[in-house]
Amino acid sequence: MAFGEGPATFMPAPDQASLVAQGEKVGVKSDPSVDPDILSLRELIVYGIKGLAAYADHARILGQEDDRVYNYIYEGMAATLDGSLGVNDYVGLALKCGEVNLKAMELLDAGNTGTYGHPVPTAVPLGAKKGKAILVSGHDLKDLEMILKQTEGKGINVYTHGEMLPCHGYPELKKYSHFYGHYGTAWQNQAKEFAAFPGAIVMTTNCIQKPRDSYKDNIFTTGLVGWPGVTHIKDKDFAPAINKALELPGFTEDAPGKQVMVGFARNAVMGVAPTVIEAVKNKAIRHFFLVGGCDGAKPGRDYYTEFVEKVPKDCVVLTLPAASSVSSTRIWGTSAAFRAFWTWGSATTPTRPSRSPWPWPAPSTAGSTICRSP
């Protein structure tokens, strides 16, 4: 390969047809001579690196970095082009990706809690408050903080959407009086929910779907997410979104709704560890279940909901990040088992409904040592 050629110098084509042609040339199955097992492991590493890079990016935004994370990304990506490696080599690299990802999550946790405080138990309204409104979706806490600062005193209520729900538990975010509540459910329902939202919408990360024409002028992107024809805010001056929110009607009346509890991160959970251990010993808790992912948007893809509804009362359901946004806004109140569940190992913070058979400590901002999720 000549100098200046190869993956490191690859440039995307300028139009869709040319991009498709490039994909056919270098796509996953473009080389039929590659062993299927090796091909699968390479792609597993690539997908792992995508998640690792997302955590590392959010951590870096909050001032947390570690060269071990970056070094692995270089190592893993280079390995996907190394024809001398075998199955065992790639298995080792895939396992290493998981190991390094734990470090990235530690960095992100340190960034989140170091900047915004340890989450505390907090009730989050799912209804609406009369007034102008901005909806923040995605995963970026820094963007949310800047929006809260820039909207202060302007008569605009700020709502979260999707996986931003846990942000209401952070002391340095919840201190803003106009940080009101949570609107909608999970990311896959955004087209319908955004169309009904009477204010401006800001997407902070790439969980955006093709915007409908009915709200395309009301939605804005920032950071690494964008969409053709949608206004992109590059400099973190959210004035375009704020001005749009002031132009739009907002909620014309209060719409009371349910509340969910967030803020049950490791400090709150570990604070009642003796109570939980005793409940296990006394068989008040017989089983723990860990559920990841989320229900799909198509009819029939409600296996998560069905599972949780069938879990007995003497069990605890632990959810991973994507599942938490579904469970907290969709299943809450329908399942006996959800009288006691936590989200464990979230990139933001765990969430849990308010009904529980065990005594939980009063909200506290006291710190504790970092512990890895099991």
Q: What is the pLDDT of residues 37-52, one digit of tens each?
A: 999 999 999 999 999 9
The pLDDT, as a whole number, for residue 182 is 96
Look at 172 and 31; give whichever has higher pLDDT.
Answer: 172
Cβ pair 270, 360 in contact under 8 A: no
Ramachandran bin of 188, using left for φ above 0, alpha for ψ from -120 to 50, beta for the remaining angles: alpha
Site of tokens 């765990």: 350
Look at 253 and 9; give whichever has higher pLDDT.
Answer: 253
DSSP for 32-64, written as a single string: TTS-HHHHHHHHHHHHHHHHHHHHHHHHHHTT-
Mean pLDDT calculated for residue range 53-62: 95
The pLDDT, as a whole number, for residue 327 is 44
How does residue 261 score in pLDDT terms, banded at 50, 70 and 90?
Answer: confident
Instruction: Report d(CA 130, CA 145) in Å as an integer.
Output: 22
Instruction: Give the domain 122-247 fold.
Output: Rossmann fold (3.40.50)
Just give the CATH number of 30-116.
Answer: 1.20.1270.20
pLDDT tens string 134-179: 999 999 999 999 999 999 999 999 999 988 999 999 999 999 999 9
**Residue ranges of the chain that CATH labels 3.40.50.2030:** 122-247, 262-343
**Residue ranges of the chain that CATH labels 1.20.1270.20:** 30-116
φ/ψ of 122, rounded to 5, equals -145, 135
Instruction: Give the domain 262-343 fold.
Output: Rossmann fold (3.40.50)
The pLDDT, as a whole number, for residue 278 is 93
